[in-house]
């Protein structure tokens, strides 16, 4: 093994979760990053150091578990799945080169496990390479829409679905004046462009719209301006991580009585909850995708708990979506044939219908066709949950849940 390759492998082991590290594909031999002729190589663009690192790590946990299960059960058509990984640090300008490296190392399909902006950035490259790139957790609608979308797919409900659900929820609880605080990442800039117009079209007035850099240590000025605008509720649109906890810690002090609503990130990043001050997340509503009535979610949670032991902090939507991504690819490869080309894997994926999901409400499914590259079948993939006084995710939000369609 070369010094360069050894250093990369050691870095992966040091920065990834235990399960994820088991599937890095690091090993001896000059060809260890490419297919041996027996393995089916899956490439993954991940984020180990940027703004979506926490999200990426959660998804990697589910991805690694699924690969482990499939290989122990005999693989796909008798061939093992092999995961090779490259990090783009959530830097979209780096993602095309990272993806091309995975392709050159023998990847038959690509899992996008970094930011939505990264997934959008590589769409032309994916078209050129004619290889499936499927986003495990990204929600930017543009990933699956023209142009350059014939090989780009997403699993989760897109931001337009989330906007529709929240607009209805705001109407239900009487919110007409909304304040927004967001980070300055390219991903959130893109998502907000799709999200906020939906709110405004539903009759909600955005009375304040504040932004903070990802490395902020003080957001009191932004929250003070929001308090002065006297909103009915505060909407937090963020990648999550330390900055979103800072948003909530500060809002808890400055506008403690304002209802707070968030996207999915913080509710699916267990390591960040301990950073919140006592009660700072109390009653925070977020767009989860995990519901107690889904037996598949319960089963997956049990598997992860058995695998991770004390490190298991609860099932997250990101872990469930990562897990399902691998099983969707397994089915696509089986439909296309184990010796199929990367382009034919796309055809196999487009034949998958009513795939039972490990996330969403009971009975929720995913389907793809040549004209439908968003997997979610309706709004039952979105579950609104709220935090407890102990800064832990609690019950489903009783005030509103989306109607299944």
DSSP 282-350: TT-EEEE-B-TT-HHHHHHHHHHHHHHGGG-----HHHHHHHHHHHHHHHHHHHH-TT--HHHHHHHHT
* Cα 101 to the center of its chain, rounded Å: 22
pLDDT in tens, 120-145: 999 999 999 999 999 999 999 999 99
Q: Percent of the chain at pLDDT above 70?
A: 91
β-pair type (285-288, 109-113): unpaired
Q: Which of 23-37, 66-80, 158-172, 335-349 has the lowest mean pLDDT?
A: 23-37
- Neighbouring C-alpha atoms within 13 Å toward the C-beta of 88: 30
Share the mean pLDDT of the chain: 91
Residue in the structure block whose two tokens are 């649109």: 237
Mean pLDDT for 228-250 is 97
pLDDT at position 173 is 96
What are the helix and strand counts (H, E) for the chain?
14, 14
Instruction: Tell me which residue of 315, 307, 329, 312 sits closest to 358, measured CA to CA.
Output: 315
pLDDT at position 18 is 37
3-state SS class at 145: coil
Start-to-end CA span in the chain (Å):
53
pLDDT at position 37 is 55
Mean pLDDT for 106-116 is 97
pLDDT in tens, 52-88: 999 999 999 999 999 999 999 999 999 999 999 999 9
Is the pLDDT assigned to residue 359 strictly greater than 50?
yes
Token pair for residue 192? 């907000």
pLDDT at position 403 is 87
Handedness of CA 275, 9, 19, 158 (dihedral sign): positive
Mean pLDDT for 105-134 is 98
Concatenated DSSP letters for 179-232? Answer: EEEEE--HHHHHHHHHHHHHHHHTT-EEEEEEEE-TT-S--HHHHHHHHHH--S
Distance (Å, whole) CA 93 – CA 243: 23
Alpha helices in 52-115 (DSSP H): 53-72, 95-104
Is the pLDDT assigned to residue 4 strictly greater than 70?
no
Axis crossing angle, helix 159-173 with helix 186-201, rounded to the nearest 10: 40
Instruction: Tell me which residue of 111, 63, 117 sits closest to 90, measured CA to CA.
Output: 117
Is the pLDDT assigned to residue 305 strictly greater than 90?
yes
Distance (Å, whole) CA 357 – CA 369: 17
Mean pLDDT for 186-200 is 97
pLDDT in tens, 201-212: 999 999 999 999
Q: C-alpha distances in angstroms, 9 versus 6, 24, 25, 36, 321?
A: 5, 8, 9, 19, 25
Q: Which of 32-36, 213-217, 226-230, 257-261 has the lowest mean pLDDT?
A: 32-36
Token pair for residue 258? 């304002």
359/292: higher pLDDT: 359
Mean pLDDT for 298-311 is 97
Is the pLDDT assigned to residue 11 strictly greater than 90?
no
Whether the CB-CB separation of 319 and 55 falls below 8 Å is answered with: no
Is the pLDDT assigned to residue 36 strictly greater than 70?
no
Phi, psi at 356, each rounded to 5°:
-70, 130
Mean pLDDT for 335-339 is 96
pLDDT at position 30 is 30
Residues in contact with 395: Cβ distance below 8 Å, sequence separation at least 6, in sequence order: 385, 386
pLDDT at position 196 is 97
- Residue 93: Cβ-neighbour burial (10 angstroms; 0-12, 13-18, 19+): exposed
């Amino acid at each position: 093994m070369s010094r360069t390759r050894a250093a990369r492998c050691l870095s992966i082991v040091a920065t990834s979760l235990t399960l994820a590290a088991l599937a890095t594909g690091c090993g001896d031999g000059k060809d260890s990053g490419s297919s041996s002729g027996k393995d089916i190589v899956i490439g993954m663009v991940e984020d180990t150091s940027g703004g979506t690192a926490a999200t990426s790590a959660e998804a990697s946990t589910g991805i690694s578990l699924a690969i482990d299960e499939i290989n122990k059960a005999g693989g796909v058509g008798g061939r093992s799945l092999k995961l090779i990984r490259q990090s783009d640090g959530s830097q979209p300008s780096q993602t095309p080169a990272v993806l091309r490296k995975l392709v050159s190392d023998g990847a038959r399909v690509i899992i996008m496990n970094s930011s939505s902006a990264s997934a959008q950035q590589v769409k032309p490259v994916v078209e050129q390479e004619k290889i499936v790139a499927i986003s495990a957790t990204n929600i930017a609608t543009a990933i699956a829409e023209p142009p350059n979308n014939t090989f780009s797919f997403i699993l989760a409900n897109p931001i337009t679905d989330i906007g529709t659900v929240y607009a209805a929820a705001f109407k239900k609880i009487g919110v007409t004046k909304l304040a927004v605080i967001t980070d300055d990442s390219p991903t959130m800039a893109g998502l907000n462009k799709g999200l906020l117009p939906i709110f405004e079209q539903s009759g909600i007035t955005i009375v304040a719209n504040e932004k903070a850099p990802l490395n902020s240590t003080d957001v009191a000025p932004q929250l003070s301006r929001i308090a002065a605008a006297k909103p009915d509720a505060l909407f937090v649109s963020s990648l999550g991580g330390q900055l979103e906890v800072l948003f909530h810690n500060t809002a808890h002090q400055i506008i403690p009585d304002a209802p707070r609503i968030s996207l999915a990130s913080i509710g699916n990043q267990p390591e960040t909850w301990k950073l919140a001050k006592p009660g700072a997340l109390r009653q925070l509503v977020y767009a989860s995708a995990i519901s107690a009535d889904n037996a598949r979610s319960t089963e997956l949670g049990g598997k992860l708990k058995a695998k991770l032991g004390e490190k298991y902090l609860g099932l997250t939507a990101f872990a469930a979506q990562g897990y399902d991504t691998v099983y969707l690819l397994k089915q696509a490869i089986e439909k296309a044939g184990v010796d199929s080309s990367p382009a034919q894997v796309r055809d196999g994926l487009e034949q998958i219908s009513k795939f039972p999901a490990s996330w969403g409400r009971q009975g929720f499914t995913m389907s793809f066709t040549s004209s439908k590259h968003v997997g979610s079948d309706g709004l039952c993939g979105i579950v609104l949950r709220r935090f407890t006084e102990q800064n832990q995710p609690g019950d489903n939000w009783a005030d509103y849940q989306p109607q299944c369609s």
